[in-house]
């Protein structure tokens, strides 16, 4: 039996799809009251029937005893549950879910005799390097004001996973970059697609790495089912300017591409205006201090290790964008 935490999210839902497609026995963890409608839509997008209701179990990574129940008879765990936020207001929740929740997962896994855990981290957990400096699995975390609360929480989560590995649990960590694929359009890369769809005029001047969610899911399965253990892998298909990615999104949606480069000053003004607007609308802004800062940086990541270990050929980002836009 395989357990997926965070099974209603972008990565978790595609993992569930791929594992079921491969004939695996899967248990999918979701919080009480969480909707599975987006997961059903994702399955329909790939012309597959919605997962059976018996697959879903209620639980929460912040509830240790619910994890013990969910892990009964489980041999492998894909830990995808996490809060992804770049809002300062979410700092406490980031720590509770991402750090404490991960500690609960690995502790419960050891108590229940789970054989292997695959933890979904983030390239954010590597910290920040100087512009255009290539980051690898060997990059050492450095304390910096460039590290967001989200990055700090993912770094803390990794420390819990490495601690469990020292205590005898077999683990593998993946560090995906910006993941693109069908999912909730109010979260993560879905917000980039929505912003272009609504007529975004400005684009950030930096660069980052991008990857198709289907690659993330398949690589996680390949690593978990292999003899590889106690290692981390950066998952990045292509290093691209944000301008290029926004152009790809615009082309896929048949919308005008953003044409004005946002300077550092413009970005600083934009996140402050978005913050004020969020106060009145009681919503999380698309642009925050952290995303404005990141948008001006050129973050470059190496995928050499996973390509060599698995002989992996990545789906082009253009195809990833087209697939995500088609989901609309």
- For the chain, the structural domain boundaries read 2-183+209-237+300-315
pLDDT in tens, 197-213: 888 787 787 888 999 99
What pLDDT does residue 317 have? 96
Beta-strand ranges (E) seen in 263-309 are 300-301
CA dist., res. 154 & res. 95, Å (int): 9
pLDDT at 310 over 90: yes
pLDDT in tens, 53-111: 889 999 999 999 999 999 999 999 999 998 877 666 677 888 898 999 999 999 999 99
Strands 238-241 and 207-212, by their bridges, are: antiparallel
Least reliable range by pLDDT among 189-198, 242-251, 278-287: 278-287
Least reliable range by pLDDT among 133-142, 223-232, 294-303: 294-303
**pLDDT (mean) for 307-323:** 96
pLDDT at 161 over 80: yes
For residues 40 and 18, the answer to whether their CB atoms sit within 8 Å is no
Q: Please state the φ and ψ torsions of residue 40, each to the nearest 5 degrees.
A: -60, -40
DSSP at 298? B
pLDDT in tens, 13-67: 999 999 999 999 999 999 988 899 999 999 999 999 999 888 999 999 999 999 9
Q: What percent of the chain has pLDDT over 70?
A: 85
pLDDT in tens, 233-252: 999 999 999 899 999 999 99
Q: What percent of the chain has pLDDT over 90?
A: 61
Report pTM: 0.89
What pLDDT does residue 268 have? 45
Using DSSP's 3-state secondary structure scheme, residue 135 falls into strand
Where is pLDDT greater, at 132 or 168? 168
CB atoms within 10 A of CB 158: 23
Strands across the sheet containing 76-79: 56-58, 26-30, 2-5, 76-79, 116-120, 170-176, 231-235
The per-residue pLDDT of the chain, averaged, comes to 86
Where is pLDDT greater, at 120 or 288? 120
What residue spans of 167-258 are helical by DSSP H? 189-197, 213-224, 242-253
Exposure of 111 in the CB half-sphere (CA atoms within 13 A): 14
**What are the CA-CA distances from residue 213 to residues 181, 189, 254, 327 (Å)?**
5, 11, 22, 13
Q: Which of 92, 33, 20, 85 is nearest to 60 (CA)?
A: 33
CATH number of 2-183+209-237+300-315: 3.40.50.720
The model's confidence at residue 276, banded by pLDDT at 50, 70 and 90, is very low
**pLDDT (mean) for 132-152:** 81
């Amino acid at each position: 039996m395989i357990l997926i935490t965070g099974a209603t999210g972008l990565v978790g839902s595609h993992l569930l799809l791929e594992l079921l497609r491969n004939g695996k026995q899967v248990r999918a963890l979701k919080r009480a009251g969480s909707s599975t409608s987006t997961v059903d839509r994702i399955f329909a997008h790939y012309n597959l029937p919605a997962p059976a209701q018996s697959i879903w179990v209620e639980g929460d990574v912040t509830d240790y005893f619910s994890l013990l129940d969910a892990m009964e008879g489980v041999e492998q765990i894909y830990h995808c549950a996490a809060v992804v936020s770049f809002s300062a207001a979410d700092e406490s929740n980031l720590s509770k879910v991402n750090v404490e929740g991960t500690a609960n997962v690995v502790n419960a896994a050891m108590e229940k005799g789970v054989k292997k855990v695959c933890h979904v981290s983030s390239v954010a957990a590597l910290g920040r390097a100087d512009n255009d400096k290539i980051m690898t699995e060997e990059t050492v975390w450095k304390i910096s004001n460039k590290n967001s609360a989200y990055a700090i929480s993912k770094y803390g989560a990794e420390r819990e996973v490495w601690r469990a590995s020292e205590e005898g649990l077999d683990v593998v960590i993946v560090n995906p970059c910006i993941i693109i694929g069908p999912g909730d359009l109010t979260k993560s890369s879905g917000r980039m697609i929505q912003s272009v769809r609504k007529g975004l005029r400005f684009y950030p001047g930096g660069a980052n790495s991008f990857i198709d969610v289907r690659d993330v899911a398949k690589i996680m399965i390949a690593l978990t089912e292999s003899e590889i253990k106690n290692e981390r892998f950066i998952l990045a298909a292509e290093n691209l300017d944000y301008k290029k990615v926004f152009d790809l999104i615009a082309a896929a949606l048949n919308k005008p591409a953003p044409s004005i480069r946002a300077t550092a000053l413009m970005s600083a003004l934009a996140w402050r205006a978005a913050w004020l607007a969020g106060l009145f609308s009681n919503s999380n802004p698309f642009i925050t201090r952290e995303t404005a800062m990141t948008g001006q940086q050129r973050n470059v990541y190496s995928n050499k290790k996973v390509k060599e270990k698995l002989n992996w050929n990545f789906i082009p980002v253009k195809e990833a964008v087209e697939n995500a836009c088609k989901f609309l």
